[in-house]
């Protein structure tokens, strides 16, 4: 378990040097297969640039799913085989270039939010409200899309990509639908609950068919227990890496929070990963927007907000590793009892 930072590419010197200075050894780059092809040479150059800072290119995250060009992959149209063949070639290039993990998603509408929300001290966290979005979002494709059709297309894809991923040694995993609501703009959100992920990992039983575990989104799933899902998929070696962020509650309405002010007990979550034998990395993902923060070349949140989350992540990883030799955290009720006696 180690911290990881997620950045846009091409990356400037400042962000790579920042990661090196703060000892954040693992780097995730947003990108990957899609209509903007990166070549094998591009991926090798990316890896070497990152390694020149004594850092590791640990994952690429992105996806073709929200790109209209790939509609037939998502819904099983006439160009399905041709598009998949092209995607597999891109997957091979990434794997051969030494990229160990590719995280993608199955969200034709990408991810989404509604109004932002005021959180601690007037910082802004993203907010979501299903009714608000539903009353405003037009139909994406002019009709309601069929959920079974999407599952069929997904199964077809998983069966095609998993052997290629195994062959080139690059583990692939899917990010949940964020927000995890039944549909958006008439497109079913198929990865919106625990059951959907159990179904995914059984399509092909392989370590190369896995999960990009956005803990934030899993925490937003109505009716599900976040610790149970971490334990279940962690024990089965299905978690590639973690988006370690926090939220106020679950869909249909929630907002993002600072890492230690949401409803999820992040210490308990980290202990659950540890006990399940998880050995991967943690990114800060989205961070609240803070006063006068400096723009960061990555996801939501500037340098200051992100480094706060990174410090927290480094501390909680170190603590849950070290507490094992002490037999757990300090028993504060015993401390209080001693003090009052």
Q: Which parts of 6-65 interact with other proteins (CB under 8 A)?
A: 14, 17-18, 20-23, 53-54
Q: With respect to other proteins, which residue has the nearer C-beta, 135 or 292?
A: 292
195 is a site residue for other proteins (CB under 8 A): no
Query: Count residues contacting other proteins (CB under 8 A)?
Result: 56
Residue 83 beta carbon to other proteins: minimum distance, rounded to whole angstroms = 41
Q: With respect to other proteins, which residue has the nearer C-beta, 121 or 142?
A: 121
Of 273, 271, 264, 158, give the one whose Cα is nearest residue 216.
264
Of 228, 248, 227, 231, give the one whose Cα is nearest residue 239.
231
The Cα angle at residue 212 between residues 243 and 151, in degrees rounded to 5? 135
Q: List the x/- string, 275-294, binding to other proteins by CB under 8 A.
A: -------------x-xxx-x
Q: Which parts of 120-149 interact with other proteins (CB under 8 A)?
A: 120-123
**SS3 call for 145:** coil
**DSSP secondary structure letter of residue 167:** H
Angstrom distance (rounded) from CA 195 to CA 331: 36
The dihedrals phi and psi of 255, each to the nearest 5 degrees, come to: -140, 160
Region near other proteins per CB under 8 A, out of 43-51, 153-161, 190-198, 256-264: 256-264
Residue 282 beta carbon to other proteins: minimum distance, rounded to whole angstroms = 12
Residue 27 beta carbon to other proteins: minimum distance, rounded to whole angstroms = 14
Tell me the DSSP string of 29-52: EE--SSSSPPPHHHHHHHHHHHHT
Residue 116 beta carbon to other proteins: minimum distance, rounded to whole angstroms = 14
Positive or negative: CA dihedral 267, 273, 275, 280: negative
CA 86 centroid distance within chain: 24
Q: With respect to other proteins, which residue has the nearer C-beta, 207 or 323?
A: 323
4 DSSP β-pair partners: 26, 283
Residue 22 beta carbon to other proteins: minimum distance, rounded to whole angstroms = 6
163 is a site residue for other proteins (CB under 8 A): no
Q: Crossing angle, helix 303-326 and helix 266-275, to 10 degrees?
A: 50
Cis omega (within 30 of 0) for bond into 4: no
322 is a site residue for other proteins (CB under 8 A): yes
323 is a site residue for other proteins (CB under 8 A): yes
308 is a site residue for other proteins (CB under 8 A): yes
**SS3 call for 212:** strand
The Cα angle at residue 168 between residues 163 and 174, in degrees rounded to 5? 60
Q: With respect to other proteins, which residue has the nearer C-beta, 73 or 119?
A: 119
109 is a site residue for other proteins (CB under 8 A): no
Q: Out of 261, 275, 276, 297, name the contact with other proteins by CB under 8 A.
A: 261
68 is a site residue for other proteins (CB under 8 A): no
**DSSP secondary structure letter of residue 173:** E
Return residues touching other proteins (CB under 8 A): 14, 17-18, 20-23, 53-54, 120-123, 258-261, 263-268, 270, 288, 290-292, 294, 303-305, 307-316, 318-320, 322-323, 326, 328-330, 332, 335-336, 338-339
């Amino acid at each position: 378990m180690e911290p990881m930072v997620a950045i846009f590419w091409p990356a400037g010197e400042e962000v790579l040097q920042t990661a090196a200075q703060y000892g954040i050894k693992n780097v995730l780059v947003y990108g990957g297969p899609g209509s903007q092809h990166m070549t094998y040479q591009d991926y090798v150059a990316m890896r070497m640039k990152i390694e020149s800072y004594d850092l590791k290119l640990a994952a690429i995250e992105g996806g073709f799913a929200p790109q209209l060009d790939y509609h037939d992959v998502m819904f099983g149209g006439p160009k399905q085989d041709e598009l998949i063949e092209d995607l597999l070639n891109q997957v091979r290039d990434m794997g051969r270039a030494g990229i160990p993990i590719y995280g993608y998603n199955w969200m034709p509408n990408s991810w989404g939010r509604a109004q932002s929300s005021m959180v601690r001290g007037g910082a802004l966290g993203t907010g979501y409200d299903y009714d608000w979005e539903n009353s405003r979002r037009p139909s994406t494709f002019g009709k309601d899309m069929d959920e079974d059709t999407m599952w069929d297309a997904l199964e077809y894809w998983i069966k095609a990509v998993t052997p290629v991923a195994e062959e080139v040694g690059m583990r692939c995993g899917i990010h949940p639908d964020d927000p995890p609501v039944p549909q958006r703009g008439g497109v079913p959100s198929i990865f919106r609950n625990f059951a959907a992920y159990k179904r995914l990992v059984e399509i092909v039983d392989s370590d190369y068919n896995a999960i990009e575990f956005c803990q934030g989104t899993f925490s937003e799933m109505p009716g599900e227990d976040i610790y149970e899902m971490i334990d279940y998929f962690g024990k089965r070696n299905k978690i590639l890496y973690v988006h370690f962020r926090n939220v106020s509650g679950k869909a249909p309405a929630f907002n993002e929070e600072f890492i230690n002010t949401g409803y999820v007990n992040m210490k308990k979550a980290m202990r659950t990963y540890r006990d399940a034998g998880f050995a991967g990395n943690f990114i800060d993902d989205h961070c609240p927007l803070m006063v006068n923060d400096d723009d960061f070349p990555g996801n939501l949140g500037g340098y200051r907000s992100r480094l706060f989350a990174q410090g927290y992540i480094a501390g909680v990883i170190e603590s849950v590793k070290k507490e094992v030799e002490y037999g757990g955290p300090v028993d504060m009720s015993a401390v209080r009892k001693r003090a009052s006696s």
